[in-house]
Amino acid sequence: MKKILFWLFCSTTIISVFAQESRHLANIRQLTYGGDNAEAYFSFDGKNLSCQITNKKWGLECDQIFDIQIRKAMGDSTYRPKMVSTGKGRTTCSYYLPDNKHILYASTHVGASACPPSPPSISGKYLWAIYSDFDIFVANKKGKIVSQLTNTPGYDAEATVSPDGKKIVFTSLRSGDLELWTMDIDGKNQKQITSGLGYDGGAFFSPDSKRLVFRASRPNTDEDIKEYKELLSKNLVAPTAMEIYTCNVDGSDLKQVTSLGKANWAPFYSPDGKHIIFSSNHASKKGYDFQLYIIDTDGNNLEQITTESIFNAFPMFSPDGKKLVWSSNRNNGGSRDTNLFIADWIP
């Protein structure tokens, strides 16, 4: 993979300097070095990140949840964050609670302690596994599970917390399709809020906690509907055709934001609530070239943010709106590593 500019060495600290890709990004810094590091989300005080990591050098065969201290990660390439999950099963989609002391995440460890098998390839298609053992848990930063928020049969995952700290949104298969659900911060009052056929997931709240942004597939042809249902019956989805949608937290006022084709996903609201940043391969000629874009909430004024490497995803703004964190396979020396990067955000 293309190395970006050069390395500066200063005593034992390695600092990466990267070309400015967009007028919106400045002072790009690397936070992790090696393995697969993804879905990093800020704590409410902006000092830490929760994220999922697979790193065989650490003895991790599938994703586990970690707590990253941003200041330490920026100053030391050998820094190893604290694991928060149990080390058993597979985990996904962690998010801080408002007290900055607890992290929620989904895990399969109750169903089995071993990593579940990777999804099969059917007709050469890229597939995501919707593991039926996923449930949502809350742990403290020492890794002790203090509560289990879901316990229904089937997939419950992809949980995030509202900025006002009152609600959680998550994706569940309990009603027979992959729909968005909400619940109170303590897990009570679980309610289904979407109902369209297709995969609704990766939801985040708007800054005022009144709306949601999410990715969704909407199979329309008989062939596409048949394929979607057949894959879902095997706890699989093909995430190759998704667009960005928004709705109120009760599911009303559903709006499609993008109509770009291919895979548009990992959306997040801008600090002012007027724009949405997301990852997309719609401009790729070969399919696997995901860059970050930003667009108005009404679907106008699409603007590309990243250009380096062929994978950029999971963007999130810091609570104060001054930083952007995301995952990228830039600067990995030609390996398959995906690392975390942080930059100053220029509106």
Phi and psi for 112 in degrees, rounded to 5? -165, 145
The 10s digit of each residue's pLDDT in 22-56 is: 899 999 999 999 999 999 999 999 999 999 999 99
| CB-based contact 160:204 (threshold 8 Å) | yes
Phi and psi for 209 in degrees, rounded to 5? 65, 15
Residue 214's pLDDT is: 99
- Distance, in Å, from the CA atom of 171 to the CA atom of 95, rounded to the nearest integer, reads 14
| CB-based contact 341:325 (threshold 8 Å) | yes
Query: Which residues, at least 6 apart from 26, have a Cβ–Cβ distance to it below 8 Å?
Result: 20, 343, 344, 346
Kind plus residue range of the DSSP H or E element containing 228: helix 222-233
| CB-based contact 46:319 (threshold 8 Å) | yes
Residue 6's pLDDT is: 26
| CB-based contact 229:237 (threshold 8 Å) | no
Cα Rg, the chain, nearest whole Å? 19
| CB-based contact 49:39 (threshold 8 Å) | no
Full pLDDT tens readout for the chain, 347 residues: 333 332 222 222 333 444 558 899 999 999 999 999 999 999 999 999 999 999 999 999 999 999 999 999 997 899 999 999 999 999 999 999 999 999 999 999 999 999 999 998 888 889 999 999 999 999 999 999 999 999 999 999 999 999 999 999 999 999 999 999 999 999 999 999 999 999 999 999 999 999 999 999 999 999 999 999 999 999 999 999 999 999 999 999 999 999 999 999 999 999 999 999 999 999 998 768 999 999 999 999 999 999 999 999 999 999 999 999 999 999 999 999 999 999 999 99
CA angle 80, 129, 153 (to 5 degrees): 100
| CB-based contact 159:172 (threshold 8 Å) | no
Phi and psi for 75 in degrees, rounded to 5? -105, 0
Residue 339 structure tokens = 């690392």
Residue 123's pLDDT is: 83
Residue 285's pLDDT is: 87
